[in-house]
Structure formats: structure tokens, C-alpha cells
């Protein structure tokens, strides 16, 4: 039975922003500042987006905690952390613009922790040469989202809460809007706009152990992919080294890197501080090699090098995994993370939510005893391919920013670079949308009812069919398969098996049944999410299979170590004309000489001002 | 019933009415009430409506009433109850039910929009300077995750339904945070009394008791705001000073909310098509 399109509610804006985390809100604020009528849709209530989960801080070379810091160091750290697979221009813009984005937040009401001089304080984090993360205890993401939310409330933005995206509409090549549905009523809504900005986050819910919430089902990646945009770097999925491992119900919940930034020590079941045994040659010159030196660093000795616990996330996650595999794990299959050597009041002040999280969920007092931690799927470096300056995708008028976009982080993201990413590129996406609307003379794209009908038919199918499989069960199977086949360590056999599984899951997803009505029905939502999960999972496996090397977060048992040749390529994924997924190696452009010099410089060269 | 089973008694229904239904599922070690709900969704009631996001007490989505108490389902462990005790969950009472455990909390978002935004002076060269000891107290209020459990338990909102007069504890601490911010230039006292209803709170501290972030809502937020109102309007010395022109130099908050902000479109009240 067809739906009468004219009966469907229509909302029109100049710009439609999809997602209300840090990137979406920052984009919307910028659009509104540029005089555009701006609407934001979000799946949850305003202020609940995944950004609230960010704990450690936002990286920006403010130079408050160490005046030696500058954009060049931040840029160099980001490129090295990303194993030189980042988009050079994005890493440059990010390092240069992050400080002003942070100061601007303070103008809007954010209250960061202070230095002794009363400036924004900065903390140490993995892979960052200097203390660089503006933070508020271990709840920086909450501070960021609440600040943007309160700013947005007075910026004339229309927020449409608990509204999920179903599919993009196009007018010829360009984007024309999105079909969505109100979770509360199950009614459909046409959101027409001259430009659409995706800020939809990641897709960690395709894995079993993850720090991601139910929202992380690859919605933006899915809709962009079907609309003809490209995905890039999908093989790079970040496993955060420290998630909770016990009790089972909280397995995967994030334990902030801030614990290690504040001096937290990793030990195995033999009591050995094992990270000293995993320092890769390229970081050896910048990493402490004795416990004595690591302690001096913690006590503020500027000549001392950083403890190995603060190596980049990919290195630490693999090391923990290996320790457990070698039989030196903790009772519940993790390792020990200990901060109890620091003053109890200090720990409670700097890591209050960690203290409560362990106390209330695991009955562990982290000021007295070690935590048990292990790797958890945390972040997707890959996502929708965008232009570095404007954030526009291959589809004219469609923009992407934040986690759903690719490019800034390359093969591995540094902690703290996500919150600053949201701010820098959220704003840039807003400016990009403004420019696009001007170039197209403010014309509202036409509506093609056939496209709407097609999306509605797809969305209604799980409700309409007589019987079918339970979508929750299928989702669990996807997660189990990805964890088994496309986990921290990968090989050709596993990834091929994963791809094979996914083909079967795709067929089964076409026959799931959501019982009940369309009103606030989580089973229906679960059924609709399967397509995005399967697309993102398949893209990860296919790109991972093609990349025959280990780089950053992509670790292959059958191809260990970086291969120089592969440093020249990013892997791009698109939907082929026949509907099948196409995977392509795309050669990277040579960077400007100046940037290359900065990125490859030694610390001494940068510190002496020679570069 | 084996010791590894647990019965959930969940309110099912919508604005038209509803009833409690019981579901029994297998449970594992360390499980929280939200896990129990997810198990019930998987096994028995896939359409059981319930909000959640972070599952770590950081987003404030899964607020509900558990065995009669306003709580976050993700931070309430089954082990806190006797092994054979039935877990009863129902939607927040102070807000209209949408379906099952999800309520329409849009009123809260409209209150936030009424509060004049943070308005600092110009940023000095090198950035704003504030000492940690001067921001400690407002950082406490900024821990708020907007779970609205304090709003749910507040007598003024819950029992007397005076949402027309009082913004509730959540927004009293939001106002307190702005009022106590070292950089803010807005005078919020008059509006706190007249528009936000500070006088309605009779400091029973129930809000503080249910706060999952352990914010001292009453002692550190509401009482100081009440004192500022009293000092301004009922202290003879201040009244005299004000008459002589020596009072607050800050701009009145009503002037600051110049253009009526567009309220977040509440779940359920969809904005009309243009």
C-alpha cells in the first residue's frame, strides 16, 4: 500500500544538520551566524549525543601549560599518530584553528580547569608532545556539548529531537533533503533543504565490545553511500586500549586515557610494567625507557621523556591484547591499570567520573586498588570522504564533519583530537554550506516523489511483513562475527569469513520483523539500523583485506609492519552501478614541501626553531 | 525461579492509560536495571520503549522510577536488591508519558530557553583569566547531566504541578551557575524571583538526594540564590543603596534575552510545515 506523499509533514530549512553532537551543534551555530535558516535533527534528546562520553579533553596548542607548544608540534604529532595517512590539509587546518575554537567555547560559557595563572589548563595525553588537552576533570565532552547546546538555544536554530534519518533525497546530482521519522509517533517527515550537513558519528555498534552507544549505527555513512558519496579509510577502526572488562554488563565502557595522562601505570598479572617492552623504534627517542625516568616526567621534569603508557592508542591496545594472549592477563581477561599511587583527593578531583564509575559499577575503589581494563571499539577514523576546506562530499550540497567524516586522523587518531575536530570542522562545514548555497543562488532543489516513496517502502517493510526474524538477534550475530573476524588483529582468512557472513546477514536483514506499532518502537529502529551496520562492517572488512600491511589501528597478522608502498594510498569505497560495493586504491597527492618538513622534523629541530 | 532469573515488572502504555506487565529473564553478574530491560526487549517485548545512550551515567537518558525511586537505570545494580525481589519500573511521574518508560520532557528544554545566555565582557589579550578556586563552585553545577530526576522528585513540579511558576532544581542551578560565573555581566536576581519562582522551593532537599552526580543542589545552588534574592529585595540597607544608585551594575537579564529563542521542538509537538 503506497503512502500519499502529500499527506506527509514537510519541514523546510536552508540547511539541515543531521546529528546534534559537538560537530552538528558547532555546524548549526555557524550556519545560523551566517544568516541561514538552520534545522538540526537528532535521534536522541538534545544534549545526549555521543560527545558527552568524551572524557579526557580537547587538544589545542594553546601553550598555556607549556609555552613551547605551537601548531607545528600539534600538526606533527597528529601526522605521526596517523602514520602519515592523514589528509595533510585537514591536519594543518585542525592544528592551526583548534586554539581559537577552544577560546571561543570559553566565550560561550565553558568552564575549563585552570592553570595557576588562571588560564585554561592542559593535560598530557598519548602521542601529544606537550600537555595540550583543555579539560574539565574527566567530563570534557559534557562541558563541550552543554556549552554548544546553550549557545545554540539562543542562536535561532530549530532543533527537531528524536527524529531519525531514513534516506537522502536528490535533485539530479545535488542533495535535496532527507526523509526521516519521528521516533515518538512513527510518522514520516520530509526535511527539505538547500544543503545537508551530516554529523552523525560512527558505527561501533557493529562490534561486540564497544564504548559506543545505540546511536552508533553508521546512519550517515549509509545514507551518503546510497546517495553516491564515497567512504575512505574504513579499515582504520580504533580500539581504545582501556575499556572496562568486568562485570560483563559494563564490558567495553570507556576508561579515559586521562588516567594514564595523570600517571596511571599498566601492569600484567606478574606485576610487570609491560609497556617498556613494547616501545616501537620510531618512538624510542621520545619515550622513557626506565621507571625512574617515567617518574621524573610525572613529577614535572621537562628533560625527562614520556612514559610508554602514553604511546599512541594503537600501540597500547595491541600491547594489552598481546599480554592477555600470552597468558599474563588479569582474572577477567584484561590487564591492570593503577592510579592508586597518586593522592586520593587528587584522583577524585581529576578523574571524578572514573572514580564513581568503578565504585558504583564494579565495586572497585580506584584510589586504593587497580582497575582491570582491556581494548574496546571506540572510534572510526574512516568515514565519508570530504573536501578538506569545505567538508563537502562528492554529492554537491552534502557535507560531513566529525566522526562520520574521514581524513583528519589517518590510520590512528590521537586522544583529544576528536573534540577539537568537531569544533574546527563543524564550523568549516557550516561555512561550506553557506558558500554552496550562494553558488547555487539560494535555489531550493526539487522534490522527487518517487524517491520518497522508495525510502518509505523500505522503512515500512519490517513493520508490514507478517513474520520474520528478530532484529536484535541478527544484530548480535553481526557483532559477534565482526569481533571474531575483523578485530584488533586481522588476517585474510578472518576478513574473508567476515565478508561472507555479511552477505548472509544482508539477505537476512531484508526479512526481519519488527513487532508492534510504529510508535516509539525500538525493535523497528533496530531493524532499520541493520543496513548501516552491515555497510560499514563490510567496508571495514573489504578495505582491510585490500590493505596488505599493518599501519596504525589496522593490524594484520599475515602482513606485519608498515609497507612503504602502502603509505602512498588511501582506500576509497563507493556503491557500484550494480549495487555492489566497490573498493579502490587512490593515490595520495604529494603534500606541500613546508608541511612535509614540519611533519618529518625531529623535536630538536622544531624546538630550536630551525623548522 | 532459579537464582539466575529476575522478574521485571514494567509499566506498559501511553497517554491513554496502561498497566504493569511482568517478564522473567536470565541475568548475569554485575547487571544493572537497564541490562534487564534490554534482555526483556530481546526475549519478550521488542517494542518496550525506553530511552538510553551512554550506559555509564554520563548522558542522563535512562531516567525512570525504579521500585518507587527516581533513578538512572544504567547505574542501578540488580545486586542492590534482594535476589528474589521483583524490579518495578515506571515512567517519571512529573512528566507526561509518551509510551512505556519514555516521557515528554520537552518542558525542561523550554525552561532552559527562557534563561538569558552567558554574557561575558570582551576577551582580553591572552584569554580570559579565572582562578580555579573561583570556578570550583560553578563546575559543580556544570556536572549536571540533565537527567531531570531532580525535576521529577521536586514537590512543586511533581505534586503541585506548578510548572507555570517554578523552573525546578535543574534550572535553579543553571541560573546559579551563570549568576556565580566570574565573567558573566547579567543581573539575574530579579528574574530569579519573579519569573523563575525561587520562592517556591521550600528546601526539603529531595532533589539533592536523587542527583546521580551528587551535586549539592539545595545547599550550594538554591539556598545561595534565595539569599541573593532576599538581600536584594528584603534587606533594608541594600534597598537604600539601590535607591541611591549604588546597586548592581549588571544588565537586567530580561534585556539580554532580546529575541525570543526558538524552543527545541519538543518530542510530540512537531513544528508546522512552512
Any A CB within 8 A of B68 CB: no
How many Å apart are CA B189 and CA B201, to the nearest integer? 15
All three cell numbers of B132, joined, read 580555579
pLDDT at A25: 98
Catalytic residue among A240, A306, A313, A574: A240
Distance of CA A199 to the CA centre of its chain: 10
Provide the mean pLDDT of chain B. Answer: 90
**Chain A residues within an 8 Å CB radius of B106:** 161
Distance of alpha carbon A293 from alpha carbon A278, whole angstroms: 16
pLDDT of residue B3: 59
Please confirm, yes or no, whether A240 is among the known catalytic residues.
yes
CB contact under 8 A, A470 and B47: no
Sign of CA dihedral A356, A358, A361, A362: negative
Backbone φ and ψ of A334, nearest 5°: -130, -155
Minimal-distance CA residue of chain A relative to B101: A520
User: What pLDDT score was predicted for residue A479?
Assistant: 97
Statement: residue B270 has pLDDT above 80? no
Average pLDDT, chain A: 96
Distance CA B210, CA B149 (A): 6
pLDDT digits (tens, 9 = 90+) for A117-174: 999 999 999 999 999 999 999 999 999 999 999 999 999 999 999 999 999 999 999 9
Q: Do B46 and A215 lie within an 8 Å CB cutoff?
A: no
From chain A, the residues in CB contact with B214 under 8 A are 356
Q: Inform me whether the pLDDT recorded for B257 exceeds 80.
A: no
Alpha carbons B53 and B71: distance in angstroms, whole number: 15
A contacts of B139 (beta carbons < 8 Å)? 111, 113, 136-137
Q: Rounded to 5 degrees, what angle do the CA atoms B256, B260, B262 make?
A: 130
| pLDDT category of residue B255 using cuts at 50, 70 and 90 | confident
The percentage of residues in chain B with a pLDDT greater than 70, rounded to a whole number, is 91
For chain A, give the longest Cα–Cα distance: 73
- The residues in A 248-277 lying below 8 A from B, measured between CB atoms, are 248-250, 253-254
Please indicate if any CB of chain A lies within 8 Å of the CB of B122: no
Burial class (CB in 10 A: 0-12, 13-18, 19+), A116: exposed
More confident residue, B264 or A334: A334
Cell of A499: 565478508
Task: Provide the angle, in degrees to the nearest 10, between the axes of the packed helices A88-107 and A140-153.
Answer: 70
User: Per-residue confidence at B240, pLDDT binned at 50, 70, 90?
Assistant: confident
CA nearest to B261 within chain A: A154
Q: Is the pLDDT of residue A335 over 90?
A: yes
Test A246 with B30 for CB contact under 8 angstroms. Answer: yes
Q: Does B31 touch chain A (CB under 8 A)?
A: yes
Mean pLDDT of B50-65: 95
Query: Which string of DSSP letters, residue by residue, matches A578-610?
Result: TSSEEEEEEEPPPPPHHHHHHHH--HHHHHHT-
Task: Tell whether the model's pLDDT for residue B79 goes beyond 70.
Answer: yes
Most distant CA pair in chain B, distance: 76
> What DSSP state is assigned to residue A302?
T
**Contact A473/B60, CB-based, under 8 Å?**
no
Percent of chain A residues topping a pLDDT of 90: 96
pLDDT digits (tens, 9 = 90+) for A55-75: 899 999 999 999 999 999 999
Each residue of A593-610: b (16+ CB within 10 Å) or e?
A: eebeebbebeeeebeeee
Contact B139 A137 (CB under 8 A): yes
Q: Out of A139, A253, A520, name the one closest to residue B49 (CB).
A: A520
A485-537 pLDDT, tens digit each: 999 999 999 999 999 999 999 999 999 999 999 999 999 999 999 999 999 99
Amino acid A298: pLDDT: 93
User: Quick one: how far is CA A151 from the chain centroid?
Assistant: 23
Chain A residues touching B126 at Cβ < 8 A = 119
The closest CB to that of B123, out of A107, A160, A521, belongs to A107
Question: Does the interface predicted TM-score (ipTM) exceed 0.90?
Answer: yes
Paired residues of A188 in beta bridges: A181
pTM recorded for the entire structure:
0.95
A134, A63 contact by CB (below 8 A): no
Contact residues, chain A, for B31 at CB < 8 Å: 247-249
Q: What is the pLDDT of residues B115-173, one digit of tens each?
A: 999 999 999 998 999 999 999 999 999 999 999 999 999 999 999 999 999 999 999 99
Which residues of chain B neighbour A52 with C-beta distances below 8 Å?
53-54, 58-59, 145
Question: Do the Cβ atoms of B126 and A136 come within 8 Å?
Answer: no
Backbone φ and ψ for A492, nearest 5 degrees, come out as -60, -40
Q: Would an 8 Å CB–CB cutoff place B209 in contact with chain A?
A: no
Q: Could you tell me if A189 lies within 8 Å of chain B, comparing CB atoms? A: yes
Nearest CA in chain A to B266: A161
Task: Report the pLDDT value the prediction gives residue B236, as an integer from 0 to 100.
Answer: 85
In 3-state terms, what secondary structure has residue A130?
coil
pLDDT at site B261: 45
pLDDT of residue B243: 76
Q: What is the pLDDT of residue A156?
A: 93
A515 in contact with B, Cβ within 8 Å: yes
Q: Which of B33, B43, B127, B213 has the highest number of chain A CBs within 10 A, making it the mutation to test binding with A? A: B127
Q: What is the pLDDT of residue A1?
A: 58
B118, B117, B177: which is closest to B146 by C-alpha?
Answer: B177
Catalytic residue among A128, A132, A183, A260: A260
Q: What is residue A488's three-state secondary structure?
A: coil
Q: How close is the nearest chain B Cα to the Cα of A567, in Å?
A: 36
- The reply to whether residue A183 touches residue B123, judged by beta carbons under 8 angstroms, is no
Summarised one tens digit per residue, pLDDT across range A307-325 is: 999 999 999 999 999 999 9
Say whether B29 and A248 touch across the interface (CB within 8 A): yes
Residue of B nearest to A524 (CA): B47
A378 catalytic? Reply is: no
Pairing verdict, β A38-41 and A231-232: unpaired
Please tell me the predicted confidence (pLDDT) of residue B271.
39
| Residue with the larger pLDDT of the pair A392 and B2 | A392
pLDDT number for residue A4:
86
B249 phi, psi to nearest 5 deg: -95, -5
List the grid coordinates of A529: 539500523
pLDDT of residue B267: 39
The model's pLDDT over B95-107, given as tens digits with 9 standing for 90+, comes to 999 999 999 999 9
**B112 CB within 8 Å of a chain A CB:** yes
Q: Is B80 in CB contact (< 8 Å) with chain A?
A: no
B20 touches chain A (CB under 8 A): no
CA distance A483 to A406: 22
Amino acid at each position: 500500500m503506497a503512502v500519499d506523499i502529500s499527506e506527509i509533514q514537510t519541514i523546510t530549512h536552508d540547511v539541515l544538520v543531521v546529528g546534534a553532537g559537538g560537530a552538528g551543534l558547532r555546524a548549526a551555530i555557524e550556519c545560523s551566524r551566517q544568516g541561514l535558516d538552520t534545522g538540526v535533527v537528532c535521534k536522541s534528546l538534545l544534549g545526549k549525543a555521543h560527545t558527552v562520553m568524551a572524557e579526557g579533553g580537547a587538544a589545542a596548542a594553546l601553550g598555556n601549560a607549556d609555552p613551547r607548544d605551537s601548531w607545528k608540534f600539534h600538526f606533527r604529532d597528529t601526522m605521526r599518530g596517523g602514520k602519515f595517512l592523514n589528509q595533510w590539509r585537514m591536519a594543518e587546518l585542525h592544528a592551526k584553528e583548534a586554539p581559537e575554537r577552544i577560546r571561543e567555547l570559553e566565550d560561550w560559557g565553558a568552564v575549563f580547569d585552570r592553570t595557576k595563572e588562571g588560564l585554561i589548563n592542559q593535560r598530557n595525553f598519548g602521542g601529544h608532545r606537550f600537555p595540550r588537552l583543555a579539560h574539565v576533570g574527566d567530563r570534557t565532552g559534557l562541558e563541550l556539548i552543554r556549552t554548544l547546546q546553550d549557545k545554540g538555544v539562543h542562536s535561532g536554530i530549530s532543533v527537531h529531537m528524536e527524529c531519525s534519518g531514513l534516506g537522502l533525497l536528490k535533485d539530479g546530482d545535488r542533495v535535496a533533503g532527507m526523509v526521516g521519522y519521528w521516533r515518538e509517533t512513527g510518522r514520516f517527515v520530509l526535511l527539505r533543504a538547500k544543503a545537508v550537513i551530516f554529523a552523525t558519528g560512527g558505527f561501533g555498534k557493529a562490534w561486540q565490545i564497544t564504548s559506543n552507544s545505540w546511536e552508533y549505527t553508521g546512519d550517515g555513512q549509509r545514507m551518503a553511500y546510497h546517495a553516491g558519496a564515497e567512504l575512505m579509510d574504513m579499515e582504520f577502526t580504533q580500539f581504545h586500549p582501556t575499556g572496562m572488562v568486568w562485570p560483563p554488563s559494563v564490558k567495553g565502557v570507556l576508561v579515559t586515557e586521562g588516567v594514564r595522562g595523570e600517571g596511571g601505570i599498566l601492569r600484567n598479572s606478574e606485576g610487570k610494567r609491560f609497556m617498556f617492552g613494547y616501545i616501537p623504534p620510531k618512538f624510542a627517542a621520545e619515550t622513557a625507557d626506565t621507571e625512574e625516568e617515567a617518574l621524573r616526567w610525572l613529577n614535572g621534569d621537562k628533560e625527562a621523556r614520556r612514559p610508554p603508557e602514553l604511546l599512541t592508542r594503537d600501540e597500547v591496545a595491541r600491547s594489552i591484547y598481546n599480554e592477555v594472549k600470552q597468558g599474563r592477563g588479569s582474572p577477567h581477561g584484561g590487564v591492570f591499570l593503577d592510579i592508586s599511587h597518586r593522592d586520593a583527593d587528587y584522583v577524585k578531583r581529576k578523574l571524578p567520573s572514573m572514580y564513581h564509575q568503578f565504585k558504583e559499577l564494579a565495586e572497585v575503589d580506584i584510589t586504593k586498588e587497580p582497575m582491570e581494563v582491556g581494548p574496546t571499539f571506540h572510534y572510526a577514523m574512516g568515514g565519508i570522504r570530504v573536501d578538506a576546506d569545505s567538508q563537502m562530499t562528492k554529492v554537491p550540497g552534502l557535507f560531513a564533519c566529525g566522526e562520520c567524516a574521514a581524513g583528519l586522523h589517518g590510520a590512528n587518531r590521537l586522544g583529544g583530537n576528536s573534540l577539537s575536530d568537531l569544533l574546527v570542522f563543524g564550523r568549516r562545514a557550516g561555512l561550506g554550506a553557506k558558500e554552496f548555497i550562494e553558488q547555487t543562488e539560494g535555489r531550493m532543489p526539487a522534490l522527487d516523489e518517487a524517491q520518497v516513496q522508495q525510502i518509505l517502502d523500505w522503512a515500512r517493510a519490517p513493520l508490514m511483513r507478517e513474520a520474520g526474524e528478530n532484529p536484535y538477534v541478527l544484530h548480535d550475530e553481526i557483532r559477534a562475527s565482526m569481533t571474531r573476524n575483523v578485530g584488533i588483529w586481522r588476517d585474510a582468512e578472518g576478513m574473508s569469513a567476515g565478508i561472507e557472513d555479511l552477505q548472509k546477514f544482508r539477505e537476512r536483514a531484508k526479512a526481519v520483523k519488527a513487532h508492534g506499532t510504529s510508535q516509539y518502537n525500538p525493535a523497528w529502529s533496530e531493524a532499520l539500523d541493520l543496513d548501516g551496520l552491515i555497510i560499514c562492517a563490510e567496508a571495514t572488512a573489504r578495505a582491510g583485506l585490500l590493505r596488505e600491511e599493518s599501519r596504525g589501528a589496522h593490524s594484520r597478522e599475515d602482513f606485519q609492519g608498515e609497507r612503504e608502498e602502502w603509505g602512498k594510498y588511501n582506500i576509497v569505497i563507493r556503491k557500484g552501478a550494480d549495487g555492489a560495493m566497490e573498493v579502490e586504491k587512490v593515490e595520495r597527492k604529494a603534500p606541500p614541501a613546508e608541511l612535509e618538513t614540519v611533519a618529518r622534523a625531529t623535536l630538536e629541530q622544531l624546538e630550536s626553531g630551525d623548522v | 525461579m532459579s537464582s539466575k532469573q529476575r522478574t521485571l515488572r514494567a509499566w506498559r502504555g501511553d497517554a491513554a492509560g496502561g498497566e504493569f506487565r511482568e517478564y522473567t529473564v536470565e541475568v548475569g553478574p554485575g547487571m544493572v536495571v537497564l541490562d534487564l530491560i534490554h534482555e526483556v526487549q530481546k526475549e519478550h517485548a521488542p517494542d518496550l520503549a525506553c530511552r538510553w545512550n551512554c550506559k555509564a551515567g554520563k548522558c542522563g537518558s535512562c531516567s525512570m522510577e525504579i521500585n518507587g525511586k527516581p533513578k538512572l537505570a544504567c547505574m542501578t545494580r540488580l545486586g542492590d536488591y534482594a535476589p528474589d525481589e521483583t524490579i518495578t519500573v515506571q515512567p517519571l511521574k512529573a512528566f507526561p508519558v509518551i509510551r512505556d518508560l519514555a516521557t515528554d520532557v520537552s518542558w525542561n528544554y523550554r525552561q532552559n530557553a527562557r534563561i538569558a545566555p552567558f554574557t561575558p565582557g570582551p576577551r582580553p589579550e591572552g584569554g580570559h583569566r579565572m582562578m580555579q578556586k573561583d570556578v570550583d563552585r560553578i563546575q559543580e553545577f556544570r556536572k549536571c547531566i540533565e537527567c531531570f530526576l531532580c525535576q521529577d522528585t521536586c514537590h512543586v513540579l511533581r505534586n503541585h504541578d506548578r510548572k507555570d511558576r517554578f523552573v525546578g532544581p535543574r534550572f535553579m542551578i543553571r541560573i546559579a551557575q551563570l549568576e556565580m560565573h566570574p565573567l558573566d555581566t547579567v543581573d539575574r536576581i530579579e528574574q530569579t524571583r519573579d519569573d523563575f519562582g525561587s520562592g517556591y522551593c521550600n528546601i526539603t532537599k529531595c532533589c539533592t538526594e536523587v542527583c546521580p552526580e551528587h551535586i549539592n543542589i539545595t545547599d550550594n545552588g538554591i539556598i545561595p540564590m534565595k539569599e541573593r534574592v532576599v538581600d536584594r529585595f528584603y534587606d533594608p540597607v541594600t534597598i537604600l543603596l539601590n535607591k541611591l544608585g549604588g546597586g548592581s551594575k549588571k544588565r537586567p537579564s530580561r534585556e539580554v534575552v532580546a529575541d525570543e529563542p526558538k524552543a527545541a521542538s519538543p518530542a510530540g509537538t512537531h513544528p508546522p510545515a512552512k
